[in-house]
Structure 1
Amino acid sequence: MVSRLINILILSFVSLGIFKASASELYKLGPGDVISIVVYGEESLTISEQKIDNREVIDYPYLGEIKIGGKSLGQVQDYISSGLRGDYLIDPKVNVAIVKYRNVYINGLVNRPGGYEYEPGLTVQKAISLAGGVMSKYRRSAKAYRTKSSETEQYKNLNSNQLAKEFEKNTEIEAELYQVIKPGDTIHVVASFW
């Protein structure tokens, strides 16, 4: 009886939107993402494609530079709506959407290392497949490690042997093949020492 009551309460909260969190609200924008901004009925305020640069800002008519790095689509949409409301428009209808996600990167012992366009639901295994798979002579000993976009700086000056040793020490970042990755992540495929 108690578990049934709890389930009813949870369903009520979800239907009321209290626990509602869509994927677009969880995703945080960053350099390399391409977004569109549509203000319905206002062609001069509509931007079909805007790439976010390393400064994580965009220049928007009437509002100037807007810092959008680390913000969700909804937060950017709300900011633009409230900025335009009153002085420029009575009730602006704004929609901000992802046109193209930032790349994921697959480095190391794969046949075609490099940057690949992110797709929602992309796993470590699928990302390695995009890069042509693991080189045949390393298939038995290769391990994959995932670093988030915020962590890549600390590994960028290491050669492949140093990288493998560093990853062996830090097993927390070893990636499971079916682990879902995010835009901006880097998958490092290195030969295991063991």
Structure 2
Amino acid sequence: MIKKLFEIMVLSCLFIGSVKAEDRNLYQLAAGDVISIKVYGEENLTIEEQKIDNREVIDYPYLGVIAIGGKTLKQIQSEITLGLKGDYLVNPKVNVAIVRYRNVYINGLVNKPGGYEYEPGLTVQKAISLAGGVMSKYRRSARAYRTKSSESDQYANLSADQLALEFKKDTETEAELYQVIHPGDTIHVVASFW
């Protein structure tokens, strides 16, 4: 029995590890992410920390400007490897990694609204907790809505009342508390009308 439980735990850990590795391979970089680029044996080509700015490009030695936005770590790694191979290095060993993800934002009826550092596995409930929880007088009526980073511009200049009206139109956008969120996402906590 104990052996069987151990086997199940090991298989679960392997599955979870592979899912996280897969997520990292699919994760698309954007402004606010911080990456590192290491070329083994080549200190002058190694960048310990590079924050991706709003232009979503970096200036890399010998290769010039490289567009980063919307690409995965593997794509950037391949692009740098191919660019360095031949003229600069015979067989470059390049590793591109995330140092820090871009923030998630929690706005509205929480005690400490603002941007918070993303961590893999972050849920709506955990994000609201990071922001000090829902204000006490709204705990029973508050609703949480998640917008993806690509949708954030359409809600940027709306007041809390306007946001609540906007979300009321589409009741399917209400976020589940255990829903996993992604870097750049915004959680809007608004008072419910119903």
TM-score by structure 2 length?
0.88
Alignment of 1:25-44 (within 5 A): 25-44=25-44
Q: Which runs of 5+ in 1 are unaligned?
A: 1-20
Instruction: Tell me the CA shift for residue 172 of structure 1.
Output: 3.0
Give the 3-state SS of the residue equivalent to 1:48 in structure 2: strand
Paired residues for 1:21-170 under 5 Å: 22-170=22-170
Amino acid at match of 2:41: G
% of aligned pairs identical? 79
Number of residue pairs matched? 174
Report SS of the residue matched to 2:132.
coil
Deviation readout 1:118-163 (Å, 9 max, x if unpaired): 0000000000000000000000000000000010100111111011
SS of equivalent residue, structure 2 residue 89? coil
The CA distance in 1 between the partners of 2:75 and 2:117, in whole Å, is 24
Q: Name the counterpart of 1:4.
A: none
Q: Distance in 2 between matches of 1:47 and 1:183?
A: 22
TM-score, length-scaled by structure 1: 0.88
Cα displacement string for residues 50-71 of structure 1 (whole angstroms, at most 9, x for unaligned residues): 0000111001001111001000
Letter in 2 for 1:50: Q
- CA distance, structure 1, for counterparts of residue 172 and residue 73 of structure 2: 30
Corresponding residue number in structure 1 for 2:188? 188
1:81 aligns to what SS in structure 2? helix
Contact 1:24–1:74 (CA<8 Å) still a contact in 2?
Answer: no
Pairwise CA distance, 1:73: 0.3
Q: For residues 171 and 76 of structure 1, what CA distance do their matches in structure 2 show?
A: 39
| SS of residue in 2 equivalent to 1:183 | coil
Cα distance in 1 for residues equivalent to 2:65 and 2:172:
38
- Runs of 4+ more than 2 Å apart: none
Which amino acid in 2 is paired with 1:106? I
Matched residues in 2 for 1:76 and 1:172: separation?
36
Question: Helix, strand or coil: the match of 2:149?
Answer: coil
Mapped to 2, the partners of 1:171 and 1:54 lie a distance apart of 32
In 2, the alpha carbon distance for the partners of 1:112 and 1:144 equals 15
RMSD: 0.8
How far residue 173 of structure 1 moved from its aligned partner, in angstroms, is 2.1
C-alpha separation in 1, matches of 2:44 and 2:56? 22
CA distance in 2, matches of 1:81, 1:91: 8
The structural deviation recorded for 1:171 is: 2.2
Cα distance in 1 between the residues matched to 2:22 and 2:141: 39
Counterpart secondary structure, 2:96: strand
